[in-house]
Structure 1
Amino acid sequence: MDIKEYIASGVLELYVAGSLSEKENQEVYELMMQHPEIKEEVEKIEQAILQITAAASPKATSGLQDTIREAALSTDAPKESQAPKVIPIASKKKTNWTSYTGWAASVLLAAGLFYFYQEKSNLESELQTTKFENNFLEQQIAEANNSLKSAQELVDILRDRNIVATKLDGQNVAPDSYATAFWNKETQTVYIDALGLPEPPAGKVYQVWSLKLDPLTPTSLGLLEDFVDDDNKVFTLANTNESQAFGITLEPAGGSESPTLEQLYTLGVVKS
């Protein structure tokens, strides 16, 4: 900590003037206890203000106090002997306006420093808020652009003339379920639109199967990982098989070597 810079900041004047918050007062007090230079500076400021006050108050009020005292004592004399007295408005002694000016300047300095400190704090707070809002807006715009780009790529894929679309209907375990398999034989890729599948229970995962029908031969194409976190529910899997049908089952986390037919959610035959 730069002690000289801290002393020159004007915080100590605000502390002596009583213009700081309770927390700030505590901070200054702790620094005074840790650094004798700061404590000494505070004492100098306090002494200067006391000297200014002492210089201004007695000289400015002594004449008026004497006049009031004389007027009060005169009321004890008999009324017949009382002569009309005029209380002088102005004292013969010259008022020390320099003392008043010095004290006023000290108060104005403390008030000005406090105002400056408050305005600086408010400005920093506003800048931090504006910076946070701008960063958040930029992030939202970036995410929106990425989503639009992904959506456009998806549309382009599904419009490819080499795509064979196969509707997968819900089975006994989940009649309302549905999905669609978009198979591109040229790229040996299958895209599974799984929007119609319910969220899998904890510890379970959907597994996609390529099927040969005669004899029935299932081959795993992979798992629909991160199903819950995937927004569009479209998954890309490699398929090098001569698939005659596609099915989706619900399996334990990590998948199974063969499909659990009791947990067959959707099934569809590829149209020739």
Structure 2
Amino acid sequence: MNIQAYIESGILEEYVLGTVSPQEKQEVECMSHIYPEIKEELLRTESALEEYALKHQTPPPASLKESLFAKMNFDSVQEIDDTNTDEQTESTHFEAGPVTNMRPVTQEEPRVIDNVFNSVETKVVTPFWARLAVAASVLLAIFAGWSATEMSKVKKDNEEMASKMGTLEKGFSYAQSLASLYRNPEYKTVHLAGLEKSPQSSVAAFWHTATNQVLLDVQNLPKPPSGKQYQLWSIVNGKPVDNGMIDQEFSGRVLKMKNTKPGAVAFAITLEKEGGNPTPTMEEMYVMGKVV
């Protein structure tokens, strides 16, 4: 498995952000247990995201709470007083008469009912805790929306940061490869300088004399026109040997070319038709360098 390609795929960053599917989550966790490099990169990504979020976190505006409560009307609680109706009074007296015929006589006093045609208006009072709960819900919804927006920004920033980190890692790997080639005594370094066709051009060839392997570092070459491609040659016994076509995306890369033959005395690059020629076009030679 290509561990580096898996790391550079971006799935670790999505795992940390929680945007992967359950299957992908299980895959990342499994791979991190199998490969220490993936686990180390996962921990480093989590740490970098946490550090970035803490560094760039934006607290809610201080005026948010005040402005929210200012828009809400909390009326004072009014209690409804029950109106007591007039109590009915009854008067009791005895009519005069013989003692044996005395009996209590009850007489109802007339009651006066005011506002008989006026409807009683009842006001429903909402408890204060209910209003407070509504306010808290609104506040929570606003805060959730604000948090989602901030999280979206963090995710975008994290993607940009991951892209920059990937570019830096590629640049670091490229620099390491070059340094290793320059220090390796098994490789002969041949500097190909620009000719009259392109004086500003510069290329470095690395020739492993034991295996005849040739590696190329294009430091400066004009972008080839459409339908054209650069071709590398080595001069062996006075004859050009084809060392292969140079990839169109040659910047910032160490290119592996075709092996040369023993006894190479020089290397050169010409501009040929796309796909190459069996012999070099001398009028289109851009750089050349002798083996020292």
The TM-score normalised by the length of structure 1 is 0.54
Q: In the alignment, does 2:260 pair up with 1:236?
A: no
Out of 232, 242, 245, the position equivalent to 1:220 is: 242
Alignment of 1:206 with 2:226, yes or no, is no
- Return the offset for 1:132: 3.1
Partner amino acid, structure 1, of 2:246: L
Written as runs of structure 1 = structure 2, the 5 A alignment for 1:1-272 is: 96=122, 98-99=123-124, 101-102=125-126, 111-214=135-238, 217-227=239-249, 230-242=250-262, 243-271=264-292
Q: Deviations along 1:112-160, whole A, 9 cap, x unmatched?
A: 4433322211112222222332343244334423432332122112211
Letter in 2 for 1:261: M
Distance in 2 of aligned mates of 1:177 and 1:150: 20
Task: Give me the whole-angstrom Cα distance separating, in 2, the residues matched to 1:133 and 1:103.
Answer: 45
**Cα distance change of structure 1 residues 144 and 174 upon mapping to structure 2, 3 Å threshold:** closer
Instruction: Indicate if the aligned counterparts of 1:213 and 1:245 stay in contact, CA closer than 8 A.
Output: no
Change (3 A) 1:126 1:249: same
Note the C-alpha offset of 1:221. Answer: 0.7
SS in 2 for 1:259: coil
Q: Is the 8 A contact 2:219 2:251 kept in 1?
A: no
Aligned twin of 1:19? none
Residue 234 of structure 1 aligns with an amino acid whose one-letter code is: V
Cα-Cα RMSD: 3.3
Q: Which runs of 4+ in 1 moved over 4 A?
A: 93-96, 103-112
Secondary structure, in 3 states, of the residue corresponding to 1:248?
Answer: strand
Letter in 1 for 2:190: T
Cα distance in 1, alignment partners of residues 133 and 154 from structure 2: 31
- Distance in 2, matches of 1:110 and 1:166, equals 78
* Offset from partner CA, 1:194-246 (integer Å, 9 cap, x none): 213222223221110112353xx22211111033xx44253222324122221
**In structure 2, distance between residues paired with 1:94 and 1:104:** 25
Query: Which ranges in structure 2 are unaligned for 5 or more consecutive residues?
Result: 1-77, 81-118
Contact 2:234–2:260 (Cα < 8 Å) also in 1: no
TM-score (norm 2): 0.51
Structure 1 vs Structure 2: percent identity of aligned residues?
A: 27
Structure with the bigger RCO (C-alpha within 8 Å, sep 6+) is 1
More helix by share: 1
Q: Residue type matched to 2:259 in 1?
A: N
Match of 1:75 in 2: none
Contact kept? 2:195, 2:286, Cα under 8 Å: yes
Distance in 1, matches of 2:194 and 2:151, equals 55
Q: How many pairs are equivalent?
A: 176
Counterpart-to-counterpart distance in 2, 1:173 and 1:263:
7
CA contact (8 A) 1:195 1:234 kept: no
Amino acid aligned to 2:276:
G
Match of 2:116 in 1: none
Hey, what does 1:47 align to over in structure 2?
A: none
Equivalent position amino acid for 2:284 in 1: Q
